[in-house]
């Protein structure tokens, strides 16, 4: 794949863990555990092919509505994963950041986040953003509030400075649903959106490559006409 058509920022809504487990008569928790393994595969491959930034939706601000036991399990899995990720992420040159409203998390989880962010902060190959207690509407509001506090007029340019992450080139959603579910609303304004019926625990390098090949065929016009793009290229 040519570097020219490789998306710089890929975002993924990792959906289908529950259905994957249900199909196998397993508890939903097993689906989430397998989901972490799929995430590990995808991070490794994304860094290998040269994606600069990968943002994944691990826990939405609406996911608190799930049964208490599932929420607790996801929080424990998150904390455990963070400590397990440090070594492989460092080896792969991946810098981890967690984006979202972290005030709702326990001290222990916040400490695990801080530790992993600090330990991987020198990675230069790829940035991995884990969106946790994240909502696109929250992101826009917090950015506007920060701009206001700084005494700046709220414009698209000032918002860019305060949003948790940059514009998305390719947004992937697995699990067959076709919606954005309050993920990176502002940042996906011009994203190419790819819906995949694969359930997240089945996702691997092969599925990511298919999405990247599809992206390569897209003509990114950003409001211009196709003819304008052709004449600019020639
Ligand atoms: C959606 O599947 C998935 C989630 C709400 C959680 C995503 C979490 C992971 C992929 C594991 C990695 C995350 C952490 C915390 C380290 P679903 O449960 O909505 O699946 P369903 O639509 O089939 O029920």
In tens, the pLDDT along 104-133 reads 999 999 999 999 999 999 999 999 999 999
CA nearest ligand 1 atom 24, residue:
18
- Listed residue (81, 42, 24, 18) closest to 203, CA to CA: 42
- Cα(35) to ligand 1 centroid in Å equals 7
- Name residues whose C-beta falls within 8 Å of residue 87's C-beta, 6 or more positions apart in sequence: none
Cβ–ligand 1 distance for 127 under 6 Å, the answer no
3-state SS class at 13: strand
Cβ–ligand 1 distance for 100 under 6 Å, the answer no
Sheet of strand 9-13, all strands in order from the earlier edge strand to the far edge: 94-99, 126-134, 53-60, 9-13, 170-173, 192-195
In tens, the pLDDT along 35-44 reads 999 999 999 9
pTM comes to 0.94
Give dist(CA 91, CA 50) in Å, integer.
Answer: 15
CA quadruple 213, 215, 219, 220: dihedral, nearest 10: -150
In tens, the pLDDT along 164-178 reads 999 999 999 999 999
In tens, the pLDDT along 8-24 reads 999 999 999 999 999 99
- Cα(7) to ligand 1 centroid in Å equals 24
Give dist(CA 234, CA 232) in Å, integer.
Answer: 6
């Amino acid at each position: 794949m040519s570097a020219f058509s490789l998306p710089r920022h890929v975002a993924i809504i990792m959906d289908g863990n529950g259905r994957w487990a249900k199909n196998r008569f397993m508890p939903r928790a097993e689906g989430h555990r397998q989901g972490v393994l799929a995430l590990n595969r995808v991070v490794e491959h994304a860094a290998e092919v040269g994606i600069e930034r990968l943002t994944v939706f691990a826990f939405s601000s609406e996911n608190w509505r799930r049964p208490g036991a599932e929420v607790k399990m996801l929080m424990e899995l998150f904390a455990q994963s963070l400590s397990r990720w440090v070594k492989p992420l460092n080896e792969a040159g991946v810098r981890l950041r967690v984006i979202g409203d972290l005030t709702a998390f326990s001290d222990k989880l916040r400490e695990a986040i801080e530790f992993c962010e600090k330990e991987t902060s020198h990675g230069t190959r790829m940035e991995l953003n884990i969106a946790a207690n994240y909502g696109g509407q929250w992101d826009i509001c917090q950015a506007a509030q920060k701009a206001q506090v700084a005494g700046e007029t709220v414009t698209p340019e000032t918002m860019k400075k305060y949003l948790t992450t940059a514009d998305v080139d390719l947004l992937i959603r697995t699990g067959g649903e076709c919606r954005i579910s309050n993920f990176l609303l502002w940042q996906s304004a011009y994203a190419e959106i790819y819906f995949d019926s694969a359930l997240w625990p089945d996702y691997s390098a092969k599925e990511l490559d298919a999405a990247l090949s599809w992206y390569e065929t897209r003509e990114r016009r950003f409001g211009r006409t196709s003819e304008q793009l052709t004449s600019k290229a020639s």
